[in-house]
Structure 1
Amino acid sequence: MDLKDQLRVVIKEAIIKAGITEEVPDIKVEIPKDTSNGDFSTNIAMVLTKIARSNPHDIATRVIENLDLEKGDIDSVDIAGPGFINFKMKTGSLTSIITKVLEKGENYGRTTHDVPQKILLEFVSANPTGDLTMAHGRHASFGDTLANILDAAGHNVTREYYVNDAGKQIENLARSIEARYFQALGEERDIPEDGYHGKDVITLATELVETHPELKNMDEDERIRTLRDIGVTFEMDKLKKDLEDFNVRFDNWTRETRLYEENKVEVALELLTERGHTYEEDGALWLRTTEFGDDKDRVLKKSDGSYTYLMPDIAYHFDKLNRGYDQLINLFGADHHGYVNRLKASVAALGFNPEMLEIQIMQIVRLIKDGEEVRMSKRSGKSVTMRDLMEEVGVDAARYFLAMRSSDTHFDFDLTLAQSETSDNPVYYAQYAHARICSILRKAEEENVDFNQDVNLDVIEAEAALNLLKAVAEFPNTITGAANKRAPQRLTNYIQDVASLFHKFYNAVKIMTADEDVKLAYLQLISAVRITLNNALNLVGVNAPERM
């Protein structure tokens, strides 16, 4: 139990003991912006005004009169403003977090969950027809960080990439490779109207002339089938390499073609029909999604007998649900906003609770340099890719920047800022804090200072140190809150706060020249801060360097 939870318990007990109410609402405990007001503050007295039918100051007085100060490790308490209750904690309650962090080490921040969920998180899932874009980079960073946070919060998380290896786009990829193949043989062939003109297609086709000469003599249908497989494998190998270099891993790679091979599309369609949710009109087969909140019904099978994009997507989500997950989370691009209701309606039509499917829309990201938008890659002359971004700013800055804004907000990626080595650059600022701590600890070891012994932590009294300790204590709650709200940006915000408080502490005190007992206590304190920063940065997929 952390300090805030400890306070919530004694505040709740005081409210009940005072006879204010047995049904105590959620108690919000915060660190005041002005720490001279105390270590923690709550507005619960104002929340209770309607229930208690009294003014907040009187309510606050009654709560304070019934507080168990010893149980809460509270040194003093007072009322501020209209009824805020401010708490000053005993120093030992704050410094005890150091021992806890040092004992838990790399597991500090991780929690168990009373009701852990089995969660399937699907993200990126770009079509295997070209390079991953900067937008895909945002999906990758946000999704992988969210998965790390959910795991740290005690859930069982599976990361999945859905490979769209069927349909018109893959057909166009195969026919583009075919055209380039015959061009390499000296024949005139046109690229399909919606084909792919990238250099990678030309390179692959040229290599196939040497490695697969038999292609030119194949029946056209057989050749296209073969080129589909070759093209998808080639593109997926590139995508997997980019994601691996971006420190993003997936547990499952699920192919759309598998749904057809295992008859899962037909099975899902038969179930929808059996449940009475389909009908025929104008030669097409429709799904009554309006029965489940969609704005109009949707076509599943066109009059020519081919499926729409929706049908295999329904089969895919039916497959997910049948795998026994409690919650499905999808990260979709901004152009998929209109797809949300029809997909959730489809889940309901299959007989599942649509709330089991959670869809987050990832808004667009723009690359900005010196105040101007960068649209083209200097290397390829085409749109900026995730690989371009990694090469320009490095994986750490790319991962951190792309995770530090809410998914539902447009994001301008400031290339100039990400490349700078100043305190204005948030990832540099955080990593420098970690490296500075490592430098101090190395110096202590070089001077044979044994700070791993039993240390009197009660000598820590500096306000900057106590403020830093309160932030360190917040780490498990930050992870839990970020997991519940699906908000990785809460973690990057937290990292910035801890880094800022450490730098303030470093400038306010002299660690290595302090009295011996204070020096030892400070060294243990910054060791705990180092562990916290390391663990937090790792959740974002960012390195915590020991030297900079």
Structure 2
Amino acid sequence: MTKPRQTYLDPPPIDPAQITASADLRYILIDSLKTLLQQTNHTLIIPPKPTLDPETFLNNLKTHPKIYQASLSRQFAGDFPPDIEQTTLKDEPKDWYIKTADFGDECDRVLQHRDGEYTQLLEDLQEYHQILQQGWDRIIVLRPPNYGRYDTLINAAMQCLGYSPSQFQYIIIQPIKLYAFHKPSKQLQAIPDLPPNELMQAISPEALRWYCFSTPLTKVAPINLSTVGQLQSNDTFALVEFIYQRCLTLVQQGKNEGINPSMSWDDLKNLTWESTHAVKLLDLVEATPQVLAESSRELAPHLICSHLESFSQICQPWLEGLSLTHQNFQLLSKMEQTMLDLLKILGIQR
């Protein structure tokens, strides 16, 4: 058995009781992310708060190849003669920089200003470095968008220290954005934010979770209030719900008729299937562990939503005129259970 990975999950510093805008509701769905990690062999832990000593930490970093002292960052110094630091700026006070530009940041960042003041970046680096050095495998930090582009900066800085994205992820979760169809213009229009209680009257908690997770966490989550729950409007969650309920109904019907889901997975895979849709559904069931693993690795629940959409889109034509044979019942049972497990991970109870 694979040893569980010890993961430090640092959630957004938001008190759900203080949420006043529906745009912020996305940040409090942290329970589903915890479930996703726990379902994929992660043990979530809260390590003791490190004792910070930025002076000692920086002194230990000063010989690191990604740390340097200069009056100008490399980006600005590049506009001047190569010997500018040894000539014109020789007697100028210097800052300590980290080469975050090597890992996608727009410029190198200061760790200690020339007046001796340490930056928040240095303190954060020391905290995360100490946690990983204490034996934990992974840190995932989640923050709301008022943290600006700090995700790019801190992720790059941690890579400077030798940590890979699989060991450290700092993710800024983007908000919900509401839309509605404007009849006079016949166009979809962005609408002002609603208080959370008003939004919850227009959309179910399950649908809210779906739309929050069906878009990558690093992108704004759009919700079209005009089509929520409408199957005829190609609403993705409505289709997933419809297909799951249809499968559940057929499975219950089969059980009432005395059919049992007794077939092993290998036997089910080795059967001859006349329907190409059935073959594709079997492939989707088999691919589910890989989808979960990737979703956990990237902290990307939208991959689970996409997987459920694929189930629903392929299952819909397969169910048309489906006869409830013993063979079809085995696949229906497997599909119903797989979809239910994925919906539970998203926090959507059926």
Tell me if the contact between 1:286 and 1:297 (Cα under 8 Å) persists in the aligned partners: no
SS of residue matched to 2:177: strand
Work out whether 1:270 is the aligned partner of 2:81. no
Selected match of 1:509 from 311, 322, 326:
322
In the TM superposition, what is the alpha-carbon distance from 1:339 to its structure 2 partner?
Answer: 2.0
* Structure 2 residue aligned with 1:429: 239
Q: Deviations over 1:292-334 (max 9, x none)?
A: 545242557989x8x8654654454345335422222223444
Please list the CA deviations of residues 59-100 of structure 1 after superposition, one character each: whole Å capped at 9, or x if unmatched: xxxxxxxxxxxxxxxxxxxxxxxxxxxxxxxxxxxxxxxxxx
Q: How far, CA to CA, are the matches of 2:201 and 2:94 in structure 1?
A: 47
Correspondence for 2:309: 496
Decide whether aligned partners of structure 1 residues 405 and 302 sit closer, same or farther in structure 2, where only a CA change above 3 A counts. Answer: farther
Shift of 1:341: 5.1
Aligned residue number for residue 328 of structure 2: 522
The answer to whether 1:151 aligns with 2:38 is yes
Deviations 1:342-378 (A, max 9, x none): 43466578x663654222343443111233323243x
Q: TM-score, normalised by structure 1?
A: 0.48
Judged with a 3 Å threshold, the aligned counterparts in structure 2 of structure 1 residues 488 and 353 are, in CA distance, closer, same or farther, namely same
Question: Highest Rg: 1 or 2?
Answer: 1
Query: Which amino acid is 2:348 matched to?
Result: V
Q: Does 1:131 align with 2:19?
A: yes
SS of alignment partner, residue 474 of structure 1: helix
Match of 2:140 among 308, 317, 329: 329
**Which residue pairs with 1:192 in the alignment?**
none
Secondary structure at 1:325's aligned position in 2? Answer: coil
Match of 1:539 among 323, 333, 345: 345
**Does the 8 A contact of 1:437 with 1:530 survive in 2?**
yes
5+ unaligned residues in a row in structure 2: which ranges?
A: 72-92, 102-106, 182-187
Q: Secondary structure at the match of 2:285?
A: helix
- Residue identity in the other structure for 1:441: V
**1:460 Cα deviation after fit:** 4.2
Q: 1:419 to 1:302 in 2, by over 3 A?
A: farther
Greater helix proportion: 1
Contact 2:229 2:237 in 1 (8 A): no
**Aligned 8 A contact 2:154 2:170 in 1:** no
- Which amino acid is the alignment partner of residue 10 of structure 2? E
Paired residue for 1:461? Answer: 274
CA distance in structure 2 between the partners assigned to 1:131 and 1:301 by the alignment: 40
What secondary structure, in the 3-state scheme, does the structure 2 residue paired with 1:372 have?
strand
User: Any unmatched runs of 5+ in structure 1?
Assistant: 1-111, 159-250, 378-383, 512-518
Give the TM-score of the pair, scaled to structure 2: 0.71
Seen in structure 2, the aligned counterparts of structure 1 residues 300 and 363 have a Cα distance that, compared at 3 Å, is farther
Please state how far the C-alpha of 1:140 moved relative to its aligned partner: 4.1
> How many residues end up aligned between the 2 structures?
309
Q: Distance in 2 between matches of 1:286 and 1:345?
A: 22
Choose the corresponding residue for 2:149, options 338, 355, 365: 338
Identity level (%): 15
Q: 1:454 to 1:121 in 2, by over 3 A?
A: closer
For residues 470 and 427 of structure 1, what CA distance do their matches in structure 2 show? Answer: 22
